[in-house]
Amino acid sequence: MRKVTLINGDGIGPEISDAVVKIIDASGLKIDWDVQTAGEDVITKEGVPLPERVLNSIKKNKIALKAPVTTPIGKGFRSVNVQLRKELDLYANLRPCKNLPNVKTRFDNVDIVVVRENTEDLYAGIERQADEDTAESIKIITRKASERICKFAFDYAVNNGRSEVCVVTKANIMKLSDGLFLDCYRKVAEQYPQIKKREILVDNLCMQLVQKPEQFDVLVLPNLYGDIVSDLCAGLIGGLGVAQGANIGTDCAVFEPVHGSAPDIKGQNKANPTALLLSAIEMLRYMKEFLYAEKIEKALFKTLAGGICTADLGGNASTTEFRDAVISNL
Ligand code: ATP
């Protein structure tokens, strides 16, 4: 039986992961969940929000499903999410954004995959106060990280039947840093004659996304633009309750929803498990469990199409009612 690390998280994490585990179990797929606690609740016992045992479990199992984890602000802890990405070298952030049945949005033909570089750019955290009135942040773009993310995007396109990979930069202004990213894209692109190429500036992309999002397929971006554009794309398909994500490296992959731990609705049986469920479905595809991924996705779509959804999507189903509806549609 395949072993997968499960981080239940905190806030609404335990409620939505319980729903997702029960749905996967009901599909007939047997997974040996290696449950690991992390976040606020483990600090008192273990001193840190991300104990070594969690990292060791992911390194061993190579794959994890992660519900949102809160990093307490102002207590001197590094963000659990950033630490996971760094320690496991999860260099690619993948965010598929596709319209869901019955989830009303301004557009109904969005099917975009955002591939964001996860390790450098302005996130390298190199900042200094040059003088009292001047602060500087250094944007790092390397050939190694840029080539590997572009290769990831093209491989994803090939393996998932996508036809175009569009690179997003501001290379007209940042001629050296974004220029290098663009250069790497062009070089990698030559190895994929079957995939269409496109280059766009990030400002133009944003305008086009809110006017004609259906024209985009796979987008590949440096870290900061990727962060902003992936939230924009999440908004196009209905917001946080339905936005899935994954952080993928050479050895390990962590699948997680975009949303946080939503402490305002914690323990109220109100949270929408869809984003975590979609992340789990993508995880099953990564594990090559295509039949189960398809089966669960169909049941989820049927549930939504039948008008059953949680309050964030305008419905009145509780987390557990939604879970049970998906299970009965399997
Ligand atoms: P963080 O800093 O951890 O990202 P946050 O408060 O900025 O936390 P979220 O926790 O994602 O962001 O919550 C933002 C809003 O969206 C909250 O009002 C929350 O209740 C709502 N929300 C987030 N996820 C869900 C979900 N799965 N189901 C229903 N509502 C959600």
- Report pLDDT for 217: 98
- Closest atom of ligand 1 to 274 CA is 27
Cα of 16 vs centre of ligand 1, distance in Å, is 13
Asked if residue 222 and residue 130 are part of one domain, the reply reads yes
- Report pLDDT for 222: 98
Residue 101 lies in a domain: no
Cα of 54 vs centre of ligand 1, distance in Å, is 24
d(CA 323, CA 58): 26
Provide the domain count of the chain.
2
Final residue of a domain: which of 236, 269, 291?
236
- Report pLDDT for 40: 84
- Report pLDDT for 87: 92
Asked if residue 52 and residue 114 are part of one domain, the reply reads no
Asked if residue 280 and residue 303 are part of one domain, the reply reads yes
Put simply, whether the predicted model's pTM sits higher than 0.75 gets the answer yes
241 and 208 in contact (C-beta within 8 Å)? no
Asked if residue 285 and residue 200 are part of one domain, the reply reads no
In three-state secondary structure terms, 34 is strand
- Residue in 73, 77, 259 to alter for ligand 1 test, most ligand atoms within 8 A of Cβ: 259
Neighbours of 99 (CB within 10 A): 19
Asked if residue 192 and residue 122 are part of one domain, the reply reads yes
- Report pLDDT for 41: 81
- Residue in 100, 240, 261 to alter for ligand 1 test, most ligand atoms within 8 A of Cβ: 240
- Closest atom of ligand 1 to 262 CA is 10
Which regions of the chain does DSSP assign to beta strands (E)?
2-7, 31-36, 63-66, 92-98, 111-117, 127-131, 134-137, 164-169, 196-201, 218-221, 244-248, 253-257
Tell the residue nearest (CA) to atom 1 of ligand 1: 260
In three-state secondary structure terms, 29 is coil
Q: How does DSSP assign 256-279, residue by residue? A: EESS---GGGTTTT----HHHHHH
pLDDT < 50: residue spans in the chain: none
- Report pLDDT for 82: 83
Asked if residue 116 and residue 153 are part of one domain, the reply reads yes
Range of the domain at 287: 1-92+243-330
Q: CB within 8 A of 303, min separation 6: which ones?
A: 309, 322, 325, 326, 329
Asked if residue 279 and residue 186 are part of one domain, the reply reads no
Residue 65 lies in a domain: yes
Asked if residue 306 and residue 200 are part of one domain, the reply reads no
Q: CB within 8 A of 72, min separation 6: which ones?
A: 40, 43, 49
- Closest atom of ligand 1 to 71 CA is 3
Asked if residue 199 and residue 274 are part of one domain, the reply reads no
- Report pLDDT for 98: 95
Cα of 10 vs centre of ligand 1, distance in Å, is 12
User: Residues lining ligand 1, CB < 6 A?
Assistant: 12, 68, 70, 240-241, 259-262, 264-265, 271-272, 275, 312
Say which CATH number the domain at 149 has. 3.40.718.10
d(CA 307, CA 326): 12
Q: CB within 8 A of 187, min separation 6: which ones?
A: 147
- Report pLDDT for 129: 95
Residue 303 lies in a domain: yes
- Report pLDDT for 102: 93
Final residue of a domain: which of 184, 206, 236?
236
Sheet holding 164-169, edge to edge: 31-36, 2-7, 63-66, 253-257, 244-248, 92-98, 111-117, 218-221, 164-169, 196-201
The phi-psi region of residue 161 (left if phi > 0; otherwise alpha if psi is between -120 and 50; otherwise beta) is: left
